[in-house]
Structure 1
Amino acid sequence: MFTHQDEWNRGYAEGRRYRPLDDDERSLLAQHVPAPDGGRALDVGCGTGELALHLASMSYTVDAVDWADAAFPSTDARLDDPSHGSVHWLHLDIERANLSQLQADGYDLIVLRMVYAFLRDRTRLSRTLGRRLRMNGALVVITPLAATTPAERRGIALDEDEIAHLMSMWDQAQRFNANGMAVLVLRGLKRPAVQITNTPLPQPSSVTEVHAVVTDAQGRVLLGRSQQQRWELPGAPAEPGEGFEHTAVRALAEQTGVTAEPADAHVLGLHLDAPDGLPRTSVVVRISAHTKQVQSLKPDEFGHVDWRPLHALRRLDRLPTTSARALDLIWPGVLPYVPSAHMYPIDSAYPPVPGESLQAVARRERMADRVIAGGWAPSLPVQQALRAVPRHRYTPESP
C-alpha cells in the first residue's frame, strides 16, 4: 500500500494520532535490543516521535525520520522533554531521497513501527537499511497482522507470507507478540539468493524521450521553435542512469535557460507508440516551480523560445505528436484530434501551478460541442473562438 504525502500531512495537521507505544513493546525492546555504549538508533517513519523519545530514554542517540511535514513533536514539546536532546529530527523520504544525512558509521538499531506495510519496495529498502547496521545490530519491524485487521484497513498490515519472506532474508529472525502485533527482531542480513549480473547490451531497439511542461504566472506554456520550424516542448532523450525528473530539468535549462529543481519535476505519465516500427516511450514531466529567465541557449535545437497561451495552441502551424500528447495529458481537449497512443498515467498529485485547469478545458469543450451541435455557431471562426477563448477568466468570482 502507498499513500500520498499530503494525506499524512493532513492527518497529522488534523490532530490524528496512531496506535500508542504499549508496555509489551517497551518490554520487548528493553529485553532484546538494549542500547550498547554509544548506541545509535534510527526510527523510520517516526510520526509524532513517541518511539524516538522512548529509544532516547533507553540511552540511544536517535535519528528520527519521517516524510510528512506535519509529523514530529511540536517545538514546545521538544523544549519540555529533556530526552529530545538525544533525538535528531529529519524530514526525509526514506525510499526516494539521498540517504547521506544518515549516520555514515551505521546504527545499532533500526526500527520500523507500523511503517513496513506502507513501503513500495520493501525488499530493496530492507536490504538498504540492513547494510547500515553495525556489527550485532538489529532491524526491528513492528506491524499489525492481516488476520486480525479489518478488511477495509488491510493495507496497514502484513500477512503471514509477507512476514515469512522478510524473516527469510536474515540469519537470525525472532518473532514476538505485543498485544496482537508482530514484533520481528532481525539480525545478520543474508546475501541475496539470486546474484544479479550485468546483461549484455542489445542493439538499440527503442528510444525514450522526456518532455518538460512548464507554465508561467499567466498560465502560458513554454515552447521552442525548432530548426525544423516546429513548436516543441523542451525535452531530451534520457541518459543512462538518469531519472526522468533530472532529464526534464537538464533539458529545460540547456535549451531555454529556465532552471528548476528535480524535486519540482513530477512524472505524470508515459505514452508508447512505434513510429516507423521503432518503439518509442514519451515521458511527460510537469514542472511545478522554476525561475523565469527565458533564452535560447542551443540555437541548433531551438531557434526561438517563447511562452504561448493555452487558447492559442490550436493556431500553431506545426506541433510534434509527442508534444501534443503531453499537452493533452495535462489539459485534455486543449488541442483537437491528438493522435492516440498507449498511455500509462503515473501521478497527478503535484502542487498547484499557474495555468488553465483540466476541468476548465474539458467543460469549455463540452459547451462548444453543444453550441455547435445545436446549430448556433455555423461559421468556422466562431466555432474556433468558442473552443479557444478561456471564458471562465472573465468571471473570476464564479466557481
Structure 2
Amino acid sequence: MARSKPDAWDAHYAGGGRFRPLGDSERRLLAEHLPAPAGGRALDLGCGLGELARHLAGSGYRVDAVDWSETALAEARRTDAPGVTYRRLDIERDDLAQLTGSGYDVIVLRLSFAFVRDRTRVLNRLRERLRPGGALCVITPVAGAVPEDRRGIALDEEEIGLLGAGWATADRYEADGLAVLVLRGPAPAAPGYAGKGSPSPHALTGAGVVVTDAAGRVLLGWSVRGVWELPGGKNDADEDFAAAAVRELEEETSLKADPAGARVRAILMDSVHGIPRVTAAVRVGAFTGEPVVTEPRLMRRWEWHETADLPLLARPLFTPSAHVLDTVWPGLLPGLPPVHRYPVAEG
C-alpha cells in the first residue's frame, strides 16, 4: 500500500480518528507470552495515543513509545503514565541508534506493521535491538477478515509467512479476529537463489538495474513468484541495454532516470531451462520519484535494502539479479550459481 505521510496521521488524530482499543484477548496473550522480566524494557512502535504503552508499563516494563505523529504524542503525554517515555521517530527514515542502547526485551507493533513499506530492512534493524531471549510481537488484522476496501490496513497470509521467516520460533495466536505473532531467536537464513519458473520460448536478453537511495540502500521488489529481484526486464526491439534499464525502471517502479546517466557495468550470460540468458548489469545514478508498485500482477512491493543485509535475506534472490548485484558489489553474495561475466570498461 502507499506509505502515509506524517501530516496525514496528524490530521487523522486531530480529527478525532482512533484505532481499535486494546482488547481483553490481547491483554491475556501479552501477559501469558510476554511477561515483564526484572528490569524489562519494551518498545511500542506506532504507539498512537499510548494505550498499549501504558498497559506494558503497568505490566512492569519501562517503555519507549514511538510514533511519527506529533499530534498523537501530544495527546498521549497528557495522560499520566509512569514508566513511559514518548519519542517522535520515523522508523523507516530516522536513525534507530537514538533508541536505548541497552536493548529491549519486547518490541511490539500493534496495528501498524501494514503501514511499513521497507518491512525487511526495518525488521532487520529491530531484531538487532532485542536483548537475548527477547521477542518481537506483531499484532495485525488479517486481509481475509477485513473488507476489500480496507485491505491496506491488514497483512495477507503470504506477508505473515514472510514476516515469520528468519526466526527460530514464530508463534501465532488469535485475538478477536487479530493475528498476534510472537517472534523469537533471530536466525538469518543462508542465502538462497531461485528462478521463477519456465519462461516463454524466446531469446532471453534484458537488463537488471541497480539503483540506490541517498543512504546507499538498494531497491529490490518482492515478486509474486516468491523471490526478491531488481527492477529490469527484456529489451524491446532495437533498444540498447541502458535505454531498456531506464524504461523498465520507470514502468515497474515509477522512478525516472536519464538514459545518459545509466552505465552498463557488465554483460552476464547463464542459461535457464536450456535457453541462453543474457543480462546487462546496469547502474543508474540520479533518479526522481518514489518507488510504487505499478504492475501488481508481477510485484507485491518495492523496498530499499541495506547492502549488508543482502546475504541474510530469508527468501531467495532472483538469480540474474544476484549476478547483477555481485557485479556492483563483488564478493558480497556467497555461493552464486555459475555465470559468464564480461565487464564493460568505463568510458
- TM-score normalised by L of structure 2: 0.58
> Shift of the alpha carbon at 1:15?
1.1
2:290 maps to which residue?
A: 346
Give the 3 Å change call, closer, same or farther, for CA 117–280 of structure 1 in structure 2. Answer: closer
List per-residue Cα deviations over 1:123-164 (Å, max 9, x = no partner). Answer: 221121112111111100000000011111101111111111
Amino acid across the alignment from 1:102: L
Secondary structure of 2:73's match?
coil
CA distance in 1, matches of 2:138, 2:104: 15
| Letter paired with 1:42 | L
Shift in CA distance, 345/85, structure 1 to aligned 2, threshold 3 Å: same
Does the residue aligned with 1:24 lie in a helix, a strand or coil? helix
SS at match of 2:131: strand
Determine the C-alpha separation between the residues in 1 that align with 2:86 and 2:262: 54
Matched, 1:141 2:138: yes
User: What amino acid does structure 2 have at the position aligned with 1:271?
Assistant: A
Q: Which residue of structure 2 lines up, in the alignment, with residue 99 of structure 1?
A: 96
Q: Counterparts of 2:158 and 2:136 in 1: how far apart (Å)?
A: 19
1:156 and 1:72 map into 2 onto residues whose CA distance is: 21
Contact residue 273 and residue 280 of structure 1 kept, 8 A: no
The secondary structure found in structure 2 opposite 1:140 is strand
Counterparts of residues 212-223 of structure 1 (less than 5 Å) = none
Provide closer, same or farther for how the CA distance between residues 14 and 132 of structure 1 changes in structure 2, counting only shifts above 3 A.
same
1:43 to 2:52 alignment: no
1:191 aligns with 2:188: yes
Question: 1:127·1:189 contact (CA, 8 Å) conserved in 2?
Answer: no
Q: Please give the alpha-carbon distance, in whole angstroms, between the structure 1 residues aligned to 2:148 and 2:261.
A: 46
Question: Which residue does 2:257 correspond to in 1?
Answer: 271
Native 8 Å contact 1:139 1:187 kept in 2: yes
Change (3 A) 1:150 1:271: same
Deviation at 1:346, TM superposition (A): 2.7
Residue 169 of structure 1 aligns with which residue?
Answer: 166
Identity %: 49
Aligned to 2:237: none
Question: SS of the counterpart of 1:12?
Answer: helix
Q: How does 1:312-327 map to 2 (within 5 A)?
A: none
Cα 1:76/1:32, change in 2 over 3 Å: closer
AA aligned to 2:39 is G
CA distance in 2 between partners of 1:44 and 1:72 (Å): 12
Distance 1:148 1:272, change over 3 A: same
- Compute the RMSD of aligned alpha carbons: 3.2
Evaluate the alpha carbon distance shift between residue 75 and residue 25 of structure 1 in structure 2; reply closer, same or farther with a 3 A threshold: closer
Of residues 98, 107, 110, the one that matches 2:107 is 110
Structure 2 distance, partners of 1:274, 1:128, is: 36
| Structure that is richer in strand per residue | 2
User: 1 CA distance for matches of 2:217 and 2:133?
Assistant: 36
Query: How has the CA–CA distance of structure 1 residues 51 and 23 changed in structure 2, closer, same or farther, with 3 Å as cutoff?
Result: same
Secondary structure in 2 aligned to 1:27?
A: helix
Q: How big is the shift at 1:74?
A: 2.4
Question: What's the CA shift for 1:281?
Answer: 5.4
Amino acid of the residue matched to residue 289 of structure 2?
Answer: P
User: Deviations along 1:188-209, whole A, 9 cap, x unmatched?
Assistant: 011233189xxxxxxxxx9x9x
Residues 242 and 125 of structure 1: is their aligned pair in 2 closer, same or farther, counting only changes over 3 Å?
A: closer
Contact 1:116 1:141 in 2 (8 A): yes
Cα 1:186–1:13 change in 2 (3 A) is: same
Work out the CA distance in 2 between the residues paired with 1:30 and 1:68. Answer: 28
Indicate the residue corresponding to 1:62 in structure 2: 63
Residue 47 of structure 1 and its aligned partner are, at CA, apart by: 0.6
Q: Secondary structure at the match of 2:82?
A: helix
Q: Deviations over 1:14-63 (max 9, x none)?
A: 11001110000000000100000000000011011110010000010000
Give the distance between the partners of 1:134 and 1:59, measured in 2 at CA.
Answer: 16
Instruction: Give 1 or 2: higher helix fraction.
Output: 1
Partner of 1:380: none
Residue 76 of structure 1 and its aligned partner are, at CA, apart by 7.0
The 2-side partners of 1:277 and 1:138 are apart by: 44
What runs of 5+ residues in structure 2 fail to find an aligned partner?
A: 194-208, 219-253, 265-281, 292-347
In the alignment of these two chains, the number of paired residues is 223
What TM-score does the superposition give when structure 1 sets the normalisation length? 0.51
User: Which residue matches 1:386?
Assistant: none
- The answer to whether the aligner puts 1:158 opposite 2:144 as a matched pair is no
| Cα deviation digits, residues 353-394 of structure 1 (max 9, x gap) | xxxxxxxxxxxxxxxxxxxxxxxxxxxxxxxxxxxxxxxxxx
**Aligned with 1:274: secondary structure?**
helix
Give structure 1 stretches of 5+ with no counterpart. Answer: 197-205, 211-237, 244-267, 285-343, 348-399
1:89 aligns with 2:75: no
Map Cα deviations across residues 85-130 of structure 1 (whole Å, 9 max, x no partner).
2011000001110112211110000000011111111122112111
